[in-house]
Structure 1
Amino acid sequence: MTALQFSVTETPTAEDLAVIGGRLTAFNEADVGPAERRLLAVVVRDDDGSIVAGVSGYTAWGWLYVQWLWVAEEQRGAGLAGRMLAAAETDAKARGCHGAYIDTFSPVALKTYRRAGYLPFGALEDFPPGRTRTFLQKRL
């Protein structure tokens, strides 16, 4: 048997990450079929062209994953998050998605996502310390 060497780093090379990601993708495709992963973003700009809000995520295996959702402080409270989620969901449905998921540790965002129809399905206590990270899903 060949001796194995472990290395732990906070600065992996792009090549190392590409090998790991590529091999996991190949394994998953052989196991469950292609993910057909596609990026998805909703960008909101003001009259000056500055970004004041946005959603970033991707679709894969029939699901929309909302990775980031941000609204500038001066734009909060006007329903912008819900409108961006609706736009992302509409695009995801056009791509054939049947569900969406998101996670947050912000109590304010949690209320927003619940208002948009997302339901909790799991939680991690003290992630970060003193908060609960909640995972939510929605059928599209």
Structure 2
Amino acid sequence: MKKEKEFTIEGCDKKNIKTIVDGINTYNLNQVPAIADIWTPLEFVIKDKNGNEIGGILAGIGYWNGLEIKILWVKEEYRKKGIGTQLLKHTEKIAREKGSKTSMLDTFDFQAEAFYLKNDYTPIGEINDFPMGHKRIYFSKELTNEI
């Protein structure tokens, strides 16, 4: 007796992605009610005096009021001048004003590990040899009422 396949795995289209996101959001919110909008973007660019983009941050606040930093980038020639810290502090301040108590992110040891340590982030986990010879580091920070 040959058993028929009960399931298939296929690539996603936009409708499938919406179904997946809606499904996990429904499940999550049935477990722990939201205290914020599903996603509040906090995305900023920093420009020089001539209007050239020299850095930016892509972040947002999730439905449990956590600040999630996805990308923070500063053009190479402007690094180590406080621009990244300025962007980070600006975003954290707005997140605190919106009720965030925690910030979270990940980076690699060859990217910004020292930067986040300098800005009071605590390493909470890491994956060694990803990529090979390096590590991916996960950080969090409790957002206090500092200004």
Partner Cα separation in structure 2 for residue 135 and residue 106 of structure 1: 10
Compute the displacement of 1:80 (Å): 1.1
The total of aligned residue pairs comes to: 137
CA shift digits 1:58-114 (9 cap, x unpaired): 112121010001110111110111111100100000110001011111345100000
Identity %: 27
Are 1:89 and 2:92 counterparts?
A: yes
TM-score by length of 1: 0.90
CA shift digits 1:2-41 (9 cap, x unpaired): 95323254xx211111110011111111111125221111
User: What is residue 136 of structure 1 aligned with on the other side?
Assistant: 139
Partner Cα separation in structure 2 for residue 76 and residue 6 of structure 1: 49
- One-letter code of the match for 1:111? A
User: What is residue 77 of structure 1 aligned with on the other side?
Assistant: 80
Matches within 5 A, 1:2-17: 4-9=6-11, 12-17=12-17
Partner Cα separation in structure 1 for residue 25 and residue 140 of structure 2: 24
**Structure (1 or 2) with the greater helix fraction:** 1
**Root-mean-square deviation (Å):** 1.7
- One-letter code of the match for 1:138? K
Compute the displacement of 1:43 (Å): 1.1
**2:130 equivalent among 124, 127, 138:** 127
Secondary structure of 2:69's aligned partner: strand
Matches within 5 A, 1:1-140: 4-9=6-11, 12-34=12-34, 36=37, 37-60=39-62, 61-140=64-143
Instruction: Name which one, 1 or 2, has greater alpha-carbon Rg.
Output: 2
Structure 1 unaligned blocks of 5 or more:
none
Alpha carbons 1:82, 1:113 under 8 Å: kept = no
Structure 2 unaligned blocks of 5 or more:
none
Secondary structure of 2:112's aligned partner: helix
Secondary structure of 1:16's aligned partner: helix
- One-letter code of the match for 1:24? I
Which of 36-45 and 82-91 deviates more?
36-45
Alpha carbons 1:101, 1:138 under 8 Å: kept = yes
